[in-house]
Amino acid sequence: MVAWFEQNGLLLGLALLDGLAYAALVFLVAVGLNLVFGVLRILNVAHGSLYAIGAYTAASLGIALAAGGLGPWASLVALVVAAAVVGAVLGPLIEGLILRRIYGQEEVLQLLVTFALFMILEDVQKLVWGVQPVHHDAGLRWLGTVDVPFGGDVIPFTAYQLYVLPGVALLTLAGLAWFLRRTLTGRVIVAVTTDREAATAMGIDARRVFLLTFTFGAALAALGGALSSPTAALVPGIGAQTIVLSFAVVAIAGLGQIEGAALSALMIGLGRSIAVYFAPEFEVVMPYLIMVAVLLVRPQGLFGTTETRRV
Amino acid sequence: MPDALALEGVSVDIAGVAVLRRVSLHVPPGGRVALIGRNGAGKTTTLRTLMGLLPVREGRVLAAGEDVTATPAHHRPRLGIGYAPEDRRLFGSFSVQDNLLLPAQVLRLPAEETRRRLDAVLALLPELRDLAPRRAAGLSGGQGKMVALGRALMVGTRAVLLDEPFQGLAPALALRYAEALRRLHEGLPDVAILITESNPELLRPLVESTFAIERGEIIPA
């Protein structure tokens, strides 16, 4: 054990740090997916496209701002602005033009429609940004690296991944919990999640809640994508990879759970990065192994309950 | 004075199947009306139609004499119509108090009006006072029915629709519920009550008129 640690300690430390940063991104996307599913009862496959478009938009905006002579801080601001713009534009557009027509329809139809939307958005993304990798990390490089002490070693890690990503994820988690429990709009969202018809009979306009929730969920997906953009080159296919991981997170957490989404994103993020460093051949299946293991023990998910659903 | 609530020749289809056929039903202001029928006869559909939760194929829905057939479901509570669905359907993660207050908050009632209604509900259903801080998911069936009635009364200044409230209640609880309905009629005589039930004997002492429904049609009671 000690010998193993001496040999692999650095690798393990790197895997943990990487996993934490990755979990933060996965959480942002998955919690949006979970919120949207809880309220609209539609499993939105195109949620991954919103992540990808958020990432590309952030990179393009950052590149444009840098070309315009603004400092690297502008690239960081661009991440949040891009996410807000993508959510505010595509959210209402998709909800109003497409989803509104399929509420209450059969699940198969809903899945096919959102899958079709996913395919369309993938092609739109290729039309706009092409298939060559897009990369812009001025903001990440500007924040520099931090030396993280780990078991006698020192691991240099980017401050962006060490502080910014987990920080934003934690803020989102706390903000969302506060919003859903303490504000009227949040409680209305919880009420619709619990029982749409009973909520309507209390005077709640479910349509408005759907629009609001979907836009908010879209912005969270776009935020996840935007924040990921400085850490890796963007290529076609990141949307698909993300949606599949988010499904796993939601399945592990239990539908409608936000704290559960945070914990299961952490499990998947760490599991995946440990696999990357120690057993790379398992990287792709790791999230599903974790998912299967959890669902074998708790079929309703870690925090899901069968009778009452909580956000 | 026009009826608090009325259906005039209303037909409703669910998934292409006719569930209500030309149903006409009248609830006078402050009246206590029973809708009796077997399971699947169309009782719940009738109440959901009054709440605007189902599209009407033909006929009219009236509230205080006004045609509200096209009024969206979420505007019906604004007309003073409260609804206690079968199975309570409380918001499980909220406290009992928050379940009661949510409709008032959604309707943006002024604080003193909310306070006044809450006090009236608590005076009618004193057991809710002790339950107020408890999580709704942890209530027993009987307690839940009381909360559902209270929640319906928070918006139902003109009428409350109670869907099989006696279903599954132990005899002692059923008596207490019936007692609460009697107090409701005395305390808030302007509020009309439409109540569904499969056993006609149970409601007889509580109501002034009875409609019977069978296979989606009103039949002579």
Q: Report the 3 state secondary structure along A83-124.
A: HHHHHHHHHHHHHHHCHHHCCCCCHHHHHHHHHHHHHHHHHH
Structure tokens at A299: 């079929």
> Mean of the per-residue pLDDT values for chain A?
91
Res B79 pLDDT > 70: yes
CB proximity list for B212: less than 8 A, separation 6 or greater: B35, B36, B37, B200, B218, B219, B220, B221
What percent of chain B clears pLDDT 70, i.e. is strictly above it? 100
Confidence of residue A238 (pLDDT cuts 50, 70, 90): very high
Cα separation, B146 vs B173, in Å, equals: 10
Res B87 pLDDT > 50: yes
Long-range (24+ apart) CB contacts under 8 A made by A98-103 are: A99/A40, A99/A42, A99/A44, A99/A210, A99/A214, A100/A207, A100/A210, A102/A42, A103/A40, A103/A41, A103/A42, A103/A210
Nearest CA of chain B to the CA of A177: how many Å? 13
Res A2 pLDDT > 80: no
Q: What is the pLDDT of residue A309?
A: 41
**Mean pLDDT in residue range B1-5:** 92
Cα separation, B64 vs B75, in Å, equals: 14
Full domain range(s) for residue B195: 5-219
Q: What is the pLDDT of residue A310?
A: 42
Q: What is the pLDDT of residue B103?
A: 95
Nearest CA of chain A to the CA of B205: how many Å? 28
Q: What is the pLDDT of residue B199?
A: 86
Q: Do A307 and B137 touch (CB under 8 A)?
A: yes
**Mean pLDDT in residue range B170-187:** 91
Confidence of residue A307 (pLDDT cuts 50, 70, 90): very low
What total of structural domains would you count in chain B?
Answer: 1
Nearest CA of chain A to the CA of B2: how many Å? 23
Tens of pLDDT along A101-138? 999 889 999 999 999 999 999 999 999 999 999 999 98
Q: What is the pLDDT of residue A305?
A: 62
Nearest-CB residue to B89 (from A198, A206, A311): A198
Cα separation, B81 vs A164, in Å, equals: 50
**Mean pLDDT in residue range A86-110:** 94
Contact B37, B197 (CB under 8 A): no
- Which amino acid makes up residue B45? T
CB atoms within 10 A of CB B130: 10
Res A308 pLDDT > 50: no
Full-model pTM: 0.88
Q: Do A188 and B91 touch (CB under 8 A)?
A: no
Q: Does A204 touch chain B (CB under 8 A)?
A: yes
Tens of pLDDT along B6-63? 999 999 999 899 999 999 999 999 999 999 999 999 999 999 999 999 999 999 999 9
**What is the torsion angle, in degrees rounded to the nearest 10, for the CA atoms of residue A164, residue A168, residue A169 and residue A171?**
140
CA distances (Å), origin B131, targets B118, B136, B171: 14, 9, 21
Tens of pLDDT along B95-143? 999 999 999 999 999 999 999 999 999 999 999 999 999 999 999 888 9
Q: CATH number, domain at B153?
A: 3.40.50.300
**Mean pLDDT in residue range A293-304:** 85
Res A151 pLDDT > 80: no
For chain A, the structural domain boundaries read 13-236
Contact A6, A148 (CB under 8 A): no
